[in-house]
Chains A and B, each alone.
Chain A
Amino acid sequence: MATYTLTVNGNKHRVNVEDDMPLLWVLRDEIGLTGTKFGCGRGLCGTCTIHLDGEPTRSCMTPVEYADGSEITTIEGLSNDVSHPLQQAWIDEEVPQCGYCQSGQIMTAAALLKRIPDPSDDDIDVAMKMNLCRCGTYQRIRKAIHKAAKGI
């Protein structure tokens, strides 16, 4: 057990947890931000993706001790009012079905657009292929990323 300081969506949090507790559970169980989801616990599905110091990161595999002092952005921090171009594009294209994986999809896509503002289909494949969606919304995800890219 130790105390860690994390800046999550601009707010400072001090948490007293086990060193090896993955950020996913710190965010969900300790801080109460449940928008980041649990899918596999082994970095295989992308459902838990957050930004750690701007980099897309699997929170289920990232122990809190590696994140001490870091800036974290979760789906809740992408915008205050669903105004991020990706959120708008996701709404316009009716991307989500059950919606469970979409926090991770959107966070992965947001990191992609920061790096490549107008990604090609291949860029999208490379960035997004580790994010699984059992409802099969991939075609709309691709379309929405292109649409958001045009709006950024």
Chain B
Amino acid sequence: MAHPTVSRRDFLKVSSTAGAGLMIGVFLPAKKRLVEAGLVSGQPFEPNAFLAINPDNTVTVTVMKSEMGQQVRTSLPMIIADELDADWSQVKIAQADAHPDKYGSQGTGGSGSIRRSFQKLRKAGAAAREMLIEAGANEWNVDKSDCTVSNGKVVHSSTGRQFTFGELTKKAANLPVPEDPPLKNPKDFKFIGKSMPGLDTPSRVDGSAQFGMDVQLPDMLYATVIRCPTFGGRVKSFDAHEAKKINGVTDIFAIEGGIAVVGTNTWAVVKGQRTADIKWDHGKFAKWDSSRIRNMMQKKGLGNAVVAREEGNVAKAQEDADNVLEAVYEVPFTSHATMEPMNCVAHVNNGKCEIWVPTQAPQRVQTTAAEALGIPEEKVTVHVTMLGGGFGRRLFADYVIDAVEISKKTGKPVLMLWTREEDMAHDFYRPTSIHKLSSAMTKKNRATSWSHRIIAPSISAQRSPETFSKGELDRSAVNGASNVPYEIPNIHVDYVMTNTPVPVGWWRSVYNSQNAFANEGFIDELAHAAGTDPYKFRLKLLKNSPRYLGVLKLAAEKAGWGKKLEKGRGRGIAVHKAFGSWAAQVAEVTVNRDGNFSVDRIVSAIDCGLAVHPDGVRMQMESAIVFGLTSTLKGEITIKDGAVAQSNFHEFELLRIDEMPKVETYIVESNEAPGGAGEPGVPPVAPAMTNAIFDATGVRIRKLPIRPEDLRV
């Protein structure tokens, strides 16, 4: 088949506007064309930065990804500035508004901001550098091979003459874009691999960072929304009479999502929300609670499953086995609970809509608002603010609909804020799951089979019910389970879909958090059944997987694996690969006689390939461990009468500073392509913890969260 010719130039786009100088976009309006031409596969090709070199000698990097604490507004500019050889003090950041195709996907998820754009950002920086060199050489009328760039200046080597980038940018903008600009040798990196100070850090310690709910517009109204607490329920009737008497409440009306209370300040609408008398039709799900969901899942789990991986013959291996080990692991629903509750500022006016929102998915906000208002996408402007946490929750745009509906109805700019109670009751929860595992063991204590059945609601099915109407395999639900790395000859992994009306969504590491808990807990059980040290047992079954071995050995060595611990203390290990990175952790716990326990230390090793921003990686490991510990020890969402039983932080608890273990992070030295950092640290936490508790007490925990009463022997 003949492919249309698409030159490499299509990857980079240059434009020059009056006074603006050189602007380089890592650009892809031609993505479809490239896919058709076979030049890029269906794999993510996500350009996410735009570079402008300004006549005032500043370098503006427009960041297309959302900043929620992962330092993306520092690390992405580092990549460009390095290849550009800019001076770090020149670098300014701008946040991209949503655009359907100018930047490629602006979705911030999958721990992908760096790993999916590293080479493209390098190329953008390198192309600009080459063009600046050529512009300088032209000005001096010398050969460009005699010119170099360093610290934001183009230098003529023979004479020492110099131009700043600002002096050359307009000339450079008229030159052809180099098709294949040379990239630096990694040993010459100046920013990549160094921990540059966070460009946003000062604004995060003086209150000036602007989050979604900090946006204030002239003539702005405040609003909040009350949704039916029961999933699938709706408003039957409401009486606004009393609520409207509250000073500052200007209106109460029904919107698609529930009842909106509007007023002149936040306090008025919060009081209005508490006062509004709403009768709900709670619907069929009102008869459901967590135990009924669990029963339904257990029952369905006995029936038909779809196969995710099949190798060898598990049934035969079990027949031939000396012993078959079985175990069931379970995790509950849990909430994202970002510290900044869901909110959105919208101004619908004159067939147009302007939105300010903390979102991980600016383009989804744009299309969602356009659809809700029945106006074309290009009439919707979306400004992305700083995010007070994301963890996957802000990939959804449900709350945006509330804001645009209220603004449309009132004709005013509106700050729509959910209370904490609404936020907790209307999340897209990490799916609850049940995992049935079994393994055939020979007399010589060799594991000859591995079976894992995942019984869980499907995020994909909730989003695209037609595609999954017959319980088809949701690939993401078996992520981290079907790719179990251990060298066991017979493997069977399957999935049973058990959907409920409880909304489910992407929660930091998605299904890897459940699947790693099951895998790494059960492999520990096999090791103990075999009478083998669980660390050595893993090494043996991973002997051909060097990157798994690398992190396991690093974590074990730094933790002093094998050194004897005093009575009541225990050590557990776990390893998992997700989002292009390998992570291993050793947890150390102390368990008291009454079952209370403390987490003393977690030693964490990560192989994320080349660590672009090592301190950023350490921050993400520390963060992931706290996130993982919260779901292992505390935060659990349960269902009662068809609604979420937890309302605020007294019922959905987060880990606190006095419970924080010592966390040590070690990064494997590597020049491999960068992997993800935001999520890979979450999955090993729970199994490392339960394995440590087993080591300390002999009690095997297979259900989260861990309760002290589970440990009273």
Q: Whole-angstrom distance from the CB of B216 to the nearest CB of chain A?
A: 6
Question: Would you call B713 an interface residue if the criterion is a C-beta within 8 Å of the partner chain's C-beta atoms?
Answer: no
A68 sits at the interface (CB 8 A):
no
Q: How far is the CA of A99 from the CA of B209 in the complex (A)?
A: 8
The reply to whether B627 and A41 form a contact with Cβ atoms under 8 Å apart is: no
State in angstroms the CA–CA spacing of A140 and B657 once bound together: 10
> A6 CB to closest chain B CB, in angstroms?
15
Q: Decide: A141 and B615 in contact? CB cutoff 8 A.
A: no
Q: Does B416 contact A (CB under 8 A)?
A: no
* Residues B663 and A90 in contact, CB atoms below 8 Å apart: no
Q: Are B337 and A42 in contact (CB under 8 A)?
A: no
Q: A30-B265, A91-B197, A91-B205 are in contact. Are A100 and B339 (CB under 8 A)?
A: yes
Contact check, A103 vs B207: say whether CB atoms are below 8 A apart.
yes
- Residues of chain A within 8 A (CB-CB) of B207 are 33-36, 74-76, 103
Residue B266 is within 8 A (CB to CB) of chain A in the complex: yes
User: What is the CB-to-nearest-CB distance from A17 to chain B, in angstroms, rounded to a whole number?
Assistant: 8
Tell me which residues from 89 to 108 in chain A have a Cβ below 8 Å from any Cβ of chain B. Answer: 90-91, 94-103, 106
Residues of the B chain whose Cβ atoms lie less than 8 Å from the Cβ of A74? 207
Q: Which of B625-645 contact A (CB under 8 A)?
A: 625-627
A57: Cβ under 8 A from any B Cβ: no
The reply to whether B202 and A82 contact each other, CB–CB distance below 8 Å, is yes
Q: Is the CB of A91 within 8 A of B202?
A: yes
A28 contacts chain B at the CB level, 8 A cutoff:
yes
| Minimum C-beta distance from A100 to chain B (A) | 3
Interface status of B450 (Cβ within 8 A of chain A): no
Contacting B at CB under 8 A, from A1-50, are 1, 17-18, 20-22, 25, 28-30, 32-42, 44-45, 47
Interface size on B, residues (CB 8 A): 64
* Contact assessment for A29 and B267 in the assembled complex, using a CB-CB cutoff below 8 Å: yes
- Interfacial chain B residues near A47, Cβ < 8 Å: 339
On chain A, the residues within 8 Å of B367 by CB distance are none
Is B534 part of the binding interface, using a Cβ–Cβ cutoff of 8 Å?
no
Bound form: Cα–Cα A17–B268 in Å:
10
A86–B195 Cα distance when bound, in Å, is 21
Assembly CA distance A29 to B216 (angstroms): 9
Would A40 and B420 be within 8 Å (CB), given that A34-B207, A82-B205, A96-B198 are in contact? yes
Which chain A positions have C-beta within 8 A of B662? 139
**Please, how many angstroms separate the alpha-carbon atoms of A138 and B200 in the complex?**
19
Chain A: interface size category: 35 or more
CB pair B340 A100 closer than 8 Å = yes
A129 and B622 within 8 A (CB): no
B248 nearest CB neighbor, chain A only: A18
A151 contacts the other chain (CB 8 A): no
Which of A94, A99, A132 is the most central at the interface, judged by chain B CB atoms within 10 Å of its CB? A99
CB of B247 within 8 Å of the partner chain: yes
Residues of A within 8 A of B267 (CB): 17-18, 20-22, 25, 29
A96-B205, A128-B657, A142-B657 given; A29·B265 CB < 8 A: yes
Instruction: Check if A135 is an interface residue, CB within 8 A of chain B.
Output: yes
Complex CA distance for A86 and B206, rounded to whole angstroms: 10
Known contacts A22-B267, A102-B204, A102-B205, A134 near B660 by CB under 8 Å: no
Q: Is the CB of B268 within 8 A of A38?
A: no
Determine whether the beta carbon of A91 is less than 8 Å from that of B657.
Answer: no
A40-B649 in contact (CB<8A): yes
Q: Tell me whether B301 is interfacial, beta carbon within 8 Å.
A: no
- What's the least CB distance linking B170 to chain A, in Å? 36
Per-position binary interface string of chain B over residues 179-217, scored 1 when its CB falls under 8 Å from any chain A CB and 0 otherwise: 000000000000000010110111111111111011010
Q: Is A137 a contact partner of B200 (Cβ separation < 8 A)?
A: no
Tell me the minimal C-beta distance from B68 to chain A in angstroms: 5
User: Does any Cβ of B come within 8 Å of A124's Cβ?
Assistant: yes
Q: Are A41 and B419 in contact (CB under 8 A)?
A: yes
Cβ of A41 and Cβ of B619 under 8 Å apart? no
In the complex, the answer to whether A98 meets B201 with C-beta atoms within 8 Å is: no
Contact with B339, one of A21, A28, A39, A90 (Cβ below 8 angstroms): A39
Residues of chain A with a CB closer than 8 A to B391's CB: 134
Which of B204, B247, B338 is packed against the most chain A CB atoms within 10 Å? B204
**Which residues in A have some Cβ–Cβ distance to B below 8 Å?**
1, 17-18, 20-22, 25, 28-30, 32-42, 44-45, 47, 74-76, 78-79, 82, 86-87, 90-91, 94-103, 106, 124-126, 128-142
| CB pairs A–B below 8 angstroms (11 shown) | A29-B265, A34-B210, A36-B207, A75-B206, A76-B207, A82-B206, A95-B205, A99-B209, A100-B339, A132-B339, A134-B654
Top 6 closest A-B pairs, CB basis?
A: A35-B207, A136-B626, A97-B69, A100-B388, A99-B204, A98-B69
In the complex, besides A100-B338, A125-B657, A135-B69, 7 extra interface pairs with C-beta distance below 8 angstroms are: A18-B248, A32-B216, A39-B420, A91-B205, A134-B654, A135-B339, A136-B623
